[in-house]
């Protein structure tokens, strides 16, 4: 039987970086589920359909084929109808589109099997918003990672600037707050910690310190067979 570790939390809490580092250390496959919603968001934008138009988006789903591949370095590549869109889904516009389409029940149902299949086949560290609550309620370890909105915006701002994107801090903060509201306020699979999740607030911890905390937690639980 494969082992699953779920890491949930709001945008910019450091989930993907920490999950990637942790997966490498423990020999798990890192599955970034936000990339699936981003890919549906990108397709919707390209087709000119409103990202909040539940019926319009649901009608597009039969045309969408998404594959998750892993390159030689273990990096997850997103392939949309045969096209590698890994880099194209990282813009602020696609972030917001992903948050919108992720509130549509048909989209969540469409992506559920892909996520569960990965966890059946491999030992995974999967990050997202509803992994511990909906996708993998039986996950062996659940972590809910968070940080203040201001700190998350600072991190996201630095990341986008480093990629050469011309963004303003205030705008990044507004986007984060809006996505928090969207992701926590929706009716279906809202962002919330599972009852058995370990809460980890990284506002005061840098990456190294957060990584150490997570590794200690996972190492301890795996050792004790919990």
> Which of 37, 43, 110, 144 is the binder for ligand DC (CB under 6 A)?
37
CB of residue 185 to ligand DC, shortest distance in Å? 12
> Which of 39, 102, 202, 210 is the binder for ligand DC (CB under 6 A)?
102
Q: Is 99 in the site for ligand DC (CB under 6 A)?
A: yes
Q: Is 152 in the site for ligand DC (CB under 6 A)?
A: no
Q: Is 39 in the site for ligand DC (CB under 6 A)?
A: no
Smaller CB separation from ligand DC, 37 or 43: 37
Residues 217, 142, 18, 70, CA torsion sign = positive
Q: Is 129 in the site for ligand DC (CB under 6 A)?
A: yes
Question: For ligand DC, which stretch binds (CB under 6 A), given 42-50, 95-103, 138-146, 208-216?
Answer: 95-103
> Which of 21, 31, 60, 128 is the binder for ligand DC (CB under 6 A)?
128
Burial class (CB in 10 A: 0-12, 13-18, 19+), 112: middle
CB of residue 123 to ligand DC, shortest distance in Å? 19
CB of residue 179 to ligand DC, shortest distance in Å? 5
CB of residue 115 to ligand DC, shortest distance in Å? 7
Q: Which chain residues interact with ligand DC by CB under 6 A?
A: 11, 33-34, 37-38, 95, 98-99, 102, 128-131, 179, 183
């Amino acid at each position: 039987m494969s082992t699953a570790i779920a890491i949930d939390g709001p945008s910019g809490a450091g989930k993907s970086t920490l999950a990637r580092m942790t997966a490498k250390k423990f020999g798990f496959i890192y599955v970034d589920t936000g990339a699936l919603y981003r890919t549906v968001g990108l397709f919707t934008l390209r087709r000119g359909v409103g990202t909040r138009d539940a019926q319009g988006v649901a009608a597009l789903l039969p045309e969408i084929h998404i594959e998750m591949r892993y390159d030689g370095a273990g990096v997850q590549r997103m392939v949309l109808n045969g096209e590698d869109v890994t880099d194209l889904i990282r813009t602020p516009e696609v972030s917001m589109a992903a948050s919108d389409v992720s509130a549509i029940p048909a989209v969540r149902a469409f992506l559920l099997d892909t996520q569960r299949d990965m966890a059946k086949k491999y030992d995974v560290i999967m990050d997202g918003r509803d992994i511990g609550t909906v996708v993998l309620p039986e996950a062996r370890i659940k972590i809910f990672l968070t940080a203040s909105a201001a700190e998350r915006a600072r991190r996201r701002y630095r990341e986008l600037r480093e990629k050469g994107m011309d963004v303003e801090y205030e705008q990044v903060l507004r986007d984060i707050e809006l996505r928090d509201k969207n992701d926590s306020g929706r009716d279906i699979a809202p962002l919330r910690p599972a009852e058995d999740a370990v809460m980890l607030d990284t506002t005061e911890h840098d990456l190294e310190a957060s990584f150490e905390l997570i590794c200690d937690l996972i190492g301890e639980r795996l050792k004790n067979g919990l």
